[in-house]
Structure 1
Amino acid sequence: MNRRNFSGLISSSLFGLASLDVLKLNNINAKKYKISLAQWSINRSISKGDISPIDFAKKARELEIDAIEHVNTLYSVNSDYLSKNSIKTLIKDLNSRADDNGVKNLLIMISQEGELASNNKKSRAKAIDKHKVWIDVANEIGCESVRVDLRGGNSFNQWKQNSIISLNSLCEYSPNLNITVENHGGFSSNGKYLADVMKSITLDNCGTLPDFGNFCINGSPNPENLEKNCKKWYDRYKGVNDLMPYAKALSAKSYDFLDNGDEKYIDYYKMMRIVNNHPYEGYIGIEYEGNRLSEDEGILATKKLLEKIINS
């Protein structure tokens, strides 16, 4: 098992001492970044039955995106696919659809499979086993990573220690697959807290999936209902900066757009300055969650904005 090299992380963390507002987006290499699509961007269409989750690769190809990030619940909770088909059939279908459309299966986002940070040892072990099912799927369809949530624990210290135990177990189970953690509510949406977990894990297939928007610690992160639904925020720009030294994937959350094409709630230029000042190279996953634009319109608007910045 390879151990994480902390030399680069130390130098990257020094970047955090500078003001985030004075960073420059100079010398950005367009080849450094590629664009992928998170399946959650079309969750409404899947939940309504307008599109089968198994046709995700086809939808991505229609939108001229060639790498996809699956969401496990869209095959089990938000649709009846897995009530009618086995995991073995799912693997076969995902591979064939990806091949047919020239699309790469990049990642699986795993949710609702138990609390990896639970204080209950038996519950935590059960959650680990349920996550392994999807880790096996990810390996079978050629993914680079899975994304997990770190839910559970009544205090930061409990959450941290339980998270470390579960992440070490999953990383050791599948050493050739990245096990990434997204800022996804609760303690994990505190960038410093999640970075502290990463600092305590030396296995090099463990990392983060920073999401531009999910820094609501208590409530809903959707800024369209910010005053009503989110009671406590962690600064999203500081949060992404906290998590980028450990990033193995990246989520470009979007909600709505101004007439000039900029995201209404998130300064993408500032975000990409932060991203570009860290060593990360790889995919940036579009995850549109807005309501005003259609799913396709929101995805394409996010794609256009990312391409504009990357190629500037």
Structure 2
Amino acid sequence: MTKNTIIPLFLLFTLTTMFLGCKESASKSEKEQVSTEVKEPFFKLSLAQWSLHRAIGSDQLDPVDFAEKAKEIGFEGIEYVSGLYTKKIESMGMEALLDTLKAKSVEHDIENVLIMIDGEGDLAASDEQERNQAVENHKKWVDAADFLGCHSIRVNLFGSKNEDDWIANATIGLRQLAEYGQSKRINVIVENHGGFSSNAELLTRVIKNIDMENCGTLPDFGNFCVKRDSGENWRGKCIEEYDKYKGTEEMMPYAKGVSAKSYDFDKEGNETTLDYPRFLKIVKDAGYTGYVGVEFEGSNVSEEEGIELTRDLLIKIGKELSE
């Protein structure tokens, strides 16, 4: 080998070593970038309109501006409450109201997720005529959800006071409404909202009885009171409560939505009455990746502050569980 060939070989070796070193550094840099990448929550965030019911009730917020307000607070989806539009329906009419709500959601680029229905009769009533009327009353809200582009309506499942009668009648009434919902490609979902509906074992038995893809549940973290001293579904002191975490776990296989109820927070931003990390672990383990709705019901802070605290806590835990 001549002296002239030694120099090029030396240069080739040097360049190859530099190239491999750069490649290894780039590879390390890429790995570091991946490891430090910020994870997003495994779910999307929606705002339940009930979180703002005091502002709406006192005329501080016009319910037709719900989409704008939700977007302002940082949400990508909204959950309407039918009862908060009673006055608007009377003054505007249902068609004009829906046109306005749809236009507002488009304007503010926010998704209409579902409508929570109250006050339209008992779907589990023992009296057949009463039960059938309740089904008919709910149909206009299925139509409204279809028009707005929602995926579901949330219904209550009240009626019979005897457990066996409730299961039988709830199965009949809910199936009839679900069949109508199916024709519009709208889910009919039941929230644990007092009485037998807050007994997750009984509620899921009804859902299994119906066995329809568009008939499911809306687990609410805080609504598992089965019996109150007043004998009513909401008013009065709770004297019998179903296990919240067990109930949520039982309802999640049929969930088309999740309602993150919140009441109070400490200085670190943790919900003090509910174990949020435990709840969200249950939700994640069920494979759920849809919307989680913020539903603040506390009174120690303003509605907007409570919404923001709930939102931030969900994002924090959601990111941790996504790692």
Category of TM-score, reference length = shorter chain: 0.7 to 0.9
State yes or no: 1:113 paired with 2:120: yes
What RMSD over aligned residues (CA atoms) do the two structures have, in Å?
Answer: 1.5
Deviation at 1:201, TM superposition (A): 1.5
Superposition pairs for residues 18-29 of structure 1, below 5 Å? none
Give the match for residue 50 of structure 1.
60
2:175 corresponds to which of 164, 168, 172: 168
State yes or no: 1:297 paired with 2:305: yes
Per the alignment, in what secondary structure is the counterpart of residue 217 of structure 1?
A: strand
Give the match for residue 37 of structure 1.
47
2:134 corresponds to which of 116, 124, 127: 127
Give the match for residue 195 of structure 2.
186
For 1:121 and 1:187, locate their aligned partners in 2 and report how far apart those are by CA, in whole Å: 19
Q: Is the 8 A contact 2:41 2:319 kept in 1?
A: no
Q: Is the 8 A contact 2:264 2:298 kept in 1?
A: yes
Consecutive unaligned residues in structure 1, runs of 5 or more: 1-28, 221-225
State yes or no: 1:99 paired with 2:109: no
Encode CA deviations 1:193-231: one digit per residue, 9 max, x unaligned.
Answer: 1111111121100000000000011239xxxxx9x7211
Deviation at 1:57, TM superposition (A): 0.3
- Aligned partner letter, 2:54: R
State yes or no: 1:87 paired with 2:94: yes
Deviation at 1:167, TM superposition (A): 1.5
Consecutive unaligned residues in structure 2, runs of 5 or more: 1-38, 230-234
Deviation at 1:275, TM superposition (A): 1.0
State yes or no: 1:198 paired with 2:210: no
2:226 corresponds to which of 217, 231, 248: 217
State yes or no: 1:62 paired with 2:72: yes
- Aligned partner letter, 2:284: N
- Aligned partner letter, 1:300: E
Per the alignment, in what secondary structure is the counterpart of residue 248 of structure 2?
A: helix
Deviation at 1:148, TM superposition (A): 0.3
- Aligned partner letter, 2:214: N
For 1:121 and 1:247, locate their aligned partners in 2 and report how far apart those are by CA, in whole Å: 28
For 1:283 and 1:30, locate their aligned partners in 2 and report how far apart those are by CA, in whole Å: 14
State yes or no: 1:240 paired with 2:270: no
Give the match for residue 238 of structure 2.
230
- Aligned partner letter, 1:174: G
For 2:209 and 2:302, locate their aligned partners in 1 and report how far apart those are by CA, in whole Å: 41
Deviation at 1:310, TM superposition (A): 0.8
Give the match for residue 85 of structure 2.
75
Give the match for residue 155 of structure 1.
162
Per the alignment, in what secondary structure is the counterpart of residue 32 of structure 1?
A: coil
The TM-score with structure 2 as length reference comes to 0.83
- Aligned partner letter, 1:190: N
Per the alignment, in what secondary structure is the counterpart of residue 174 of structure 1?
A: helix
- Aligned partner letter, 1:97: K
Encode CA deviations 1:49-94: one digit per residue, 9 max, x unaligned.
Answer: 1111111001101101110000000001xxx211101110111011
Q: Percent identity?
A: 44
The number of aligned residues is: 276
Per the alignment, in what secondary structure is the counterpart of residue 216 of structure 2?
A: strand
Per the alignment, in what secondary structure is the counterpart of residue 298 of structure 2?
A: coil
